[in-house]
């Protein structure tokens, strides 16, 4: 840009709000400022005037996010012009998923929770603070809200007792009032900000190379490998994790080996099951939507990629890879994390990891035995699976907190662990994936 004499400012969350506003106003009003390099901070809700073109240097693992960003261009009756650069394998996977969903005319569905126990605790504290007290009638009305439809009376009582014990609430006759500890979280400073905004930013981990931030990753990166070494791609480059500071939410890294396959390819977003299944469909039968034009190089690259990355025709397949067994599902991050937890809870195996397309079981597991285990899990009742998962997660508190962190919330202090684990299982549970396990097949080397 400098060589062309073009000024290109940077717009992202680490830039101060004042400077971001200045950049937005200048871009909207000054003809000299023709381009901005931005993250998702310009994705929605900000008026920056007419944009001729949106250029993607990294492709999000979400059709909804892609369309939201692409929609910044082509307003006032003009067509959107979007250019996409594919720099790494995950971006190519993401492009295939987007092309597949665009050809179907679909985006990822919104799946709000109707059993949001941490949110109920948060709302009880906020309402007691603002209204002065809560009567039995108030509580009954609150329980009718959609996020709390599936909350049982016993769970509600456990939650209220927990909040009273922690002094967030107090009992006065037949009413509930605000407790002494509430003042600490609604007074001032960061605690107040976190409480008021409900789902605060900053749940991603800052990636630090030689003391400088080079990007952010989702905490699921720490679940993506059962090895001591965890690696991932960021900005098209491989990095190896050396140290994780959960308190500061930082990950110190060094450049990864080009010969080692990264255990994580994603960025700060998780991939849904619908998007992952769209990738699988495109791998087996790619359809290019109208209005999408591929350069000659891009066409050759995609064709070569498809020839070398055919997905199994079965919904679930098991294959041996050295000392590991790969369970290919193309079920997305959350569903595969759920399956990995089921395997851990049922078998006691520890070396189990998950990413958006597969679950990997290491340390010489037997393929036939694992196949039988998947069939066993598939035939279990929901209550039995939930009980096993609850026992496992309550016995490993760090694992429980790590899974809760996946949702990007900070409400766990408002709910006891016995209810937090129910919420985590509720959010992760995928009954359709469990049904698919009954039809899992073993793929032997001669079948590939």
- Which of 130, 162, 197 delimits the end of a domain? 197
Task: Kindly state whether residues 152 and 220 are assigned to the same domain.
Answer: no
- CA 317 to CA 359: how far, in whole Å? 10
Take residue 118 and report the two structure tokens written for it: 């941490």
Task: Kindly state whether residues 192 and 211 are assigned to the same domain.
Answer: no
DSSP letters, 119-173, are HHHHHHHHHHHHHSEE-HHHHHHHHTSGGGTT--HHHHHHHHHHHHHTTSEEEET
Domain membership of residue 134 (yes or no) is yes
Domain membership of residue 186 (yes or no) is yes
How many domains does the chain contain in total?
A: 3
Domain membership of residue 234 (yes or no) is yes
Task: Kindly state whether residues 171 and 233 are assigned to the same domain.
Answer: no
Helix (H, G, I), strand (E, B) or coil at 113: coil
| CB neighbour list of residue 369: distance below 8 Å, 6 or more residues apart | none
* Per-residue DSSP letter, 380: S
Task: Kindly state whether residues 122 and 148 are assigned to the same domain.
Answer: yes
Mean pLDDT per 10-residue segment, the chain (448 residues): 69 70 76 73 64 84 88 70 84 91 92 95 92 90 94 96 96 92 73 56 76 78 59 72 82 71 50 95 85 82 81 88 92 96 95 93 88 96 98 95 88 96 98 96 74
Domain membership of residue 349 (yes or no) is yes
Task: Kindly state whether residues 217 and 175 are assigned to the same domain.
Answer: no
Domain membership of residue 300 (yes or no) is no
Domain membership of residue 87 (yes or no) is no
* Per-residue DSSP letter, 144: T
Q: With contact defined as beta carbons under 8 Å apart, do 216 and 205 qualify?
A: yes
Q: For residue 156, give the CATH number of its domain.
A: 1.10.10
Task: Kindly state whether residues 170 and 189 are assigned to the same domain.
Answer: yes
Domain membership of residue 271 (yes or no) is no
pLDDT in tens, 45-60: 666 666 778 888 888 8
Domain membership of residue 242 (yes or no) is yes
**Closest among 443, 279, 266, 246 to 337, alpha carbons compared:** 266
Its domain, for residue 322, covers 313-447
Cα angle for residues 56, 57, 58 (degrees, 5° grid): 90
- CA 174 to CA 309: how far, in whole Å? 64
Q: With contact defined as beta carbons under 8 Å apart, do 104 and 274 qualify?
A: no
- CA 194 to CA 143: how far, in whole Å? 23
pLDDT at 267: 45
Task: Kindly state whether residues 335 and 425 are assigned to the same domain.
Answer: yes
- Which of 255, 290, 322 delimits the end of a domain? 255
Task: Kindly state whether residues 388 and 417 are assigned to the same domain.
Answer: yes
- Which of 197, 219, 237 delimits the end of a domain? 197
pLDDT in tens, 270-303: 899 999 999 999 988 888 877 788 888 888 888 8
- CA 446 to CA 448: how far, in whole Å? 6
Task: Kindly state whether residues 124 and 239 are assigned to the same domain.
Answer: no
Task: Kindly state whether residues 346 and 437 are assigned to the same domain.
Answer: yes
Task: Kindly state whether residues 221 and 338 are assigned to the same domain.
Answer: no
Take residue 316 and report the two structure tokens written for it: 């679930």
Task: Kindly state whether residues 338 and 436 are assigned to the same domain.
Answer: yes
Which stretch of DSSP H or E encloses residue 106?
none
């Amino acid at each position: 840009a400098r060589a062309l004499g073009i000024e290109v400012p940077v717009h992202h969350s680490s830039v101060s709000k004042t400077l971001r506003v200045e950049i937005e106003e200048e871009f909207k009003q000054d003809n000299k400022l023709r381009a901005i390099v931005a993250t998702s901070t310009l994705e929605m809700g900000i008026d920056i005037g007419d944009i001729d073109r949106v250029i993607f240097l990294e492709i999000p693992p979400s059709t909804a996010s892609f369309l939201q960003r692409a929609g910044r261009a082509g307003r006032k009756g003009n067509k959107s012009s979007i250019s996409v650069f594919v720099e790494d394998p995950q971006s190519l996977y993401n492009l295939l998923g987007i092309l597949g969903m665009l050809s179907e005319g679909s985006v990822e569905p919104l799946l709000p929770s109707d059993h949001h126990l941490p949110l109920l605790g948060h709302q009880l504290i906020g309402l007691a603070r603002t209204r002065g007290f809560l009567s039995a009638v108030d509580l009954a009305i609150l329980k009718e809200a959609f996020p709390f439809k599936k909350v049982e009376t016993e769970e509600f009582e456990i939650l209220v007792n927990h909040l009273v014990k922690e002094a967030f609430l107090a009992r006065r006759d037949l009413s509930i009032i605000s407790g002494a500890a509430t003042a600490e979280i609604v007074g001032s400073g960061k605690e107040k900000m976190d409480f008021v905004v409900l789902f605060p930013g900053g749940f991603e981990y800052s990636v630090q190379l030689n003391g400088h931030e080079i990007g952010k990753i989702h905490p699921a990166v720490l679940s993506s490998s059962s090895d001591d070494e965890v690696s991932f791609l960021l900005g098209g480059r491989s990095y190896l994790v050396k140290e994780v500071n959960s308190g500061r939410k930082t990950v110190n890294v060094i450049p990864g080996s080009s010969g080692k396959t990264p255990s994580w390819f994603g960025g700060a977003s998780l991939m849904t099951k619908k998007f992952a299944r769209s990738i699988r469909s495109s791998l087996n039968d790619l359809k290019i939507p109208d209005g999408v034009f591929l350069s000659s190089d891009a066409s050759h690259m995609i064709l070569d990629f498809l020839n070398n990355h055919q997905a199994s025709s079965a919904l679930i397949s098991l294959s041996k890879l050295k000392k590991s067994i790969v369970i290919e599902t193309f079920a997305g991050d959350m569903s595969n994390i759920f399956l990995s937890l089921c395997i851990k809870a049922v078998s006691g195996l520890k070396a189990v990891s998950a990413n958006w397309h597969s679950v990997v079981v290491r340390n010489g597991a037997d393929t036939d035995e694992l196949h039988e285990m998947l069939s066993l899990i598939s035939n279990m009742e929901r209550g039995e699976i939930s009980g096993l998962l609850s026992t496992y997660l309550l016995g490993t508190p760090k694992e429980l907190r790590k899974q809760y962190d996946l949702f990007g919330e900070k409400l766990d202090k408002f709910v006891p662990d016995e209810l937090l684990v129910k919420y985590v299982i509720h959010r992760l549970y995928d009954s359709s994936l469990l049904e698919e396990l009954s039809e899992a097949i073993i793929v032997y080397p001669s079948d590939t």
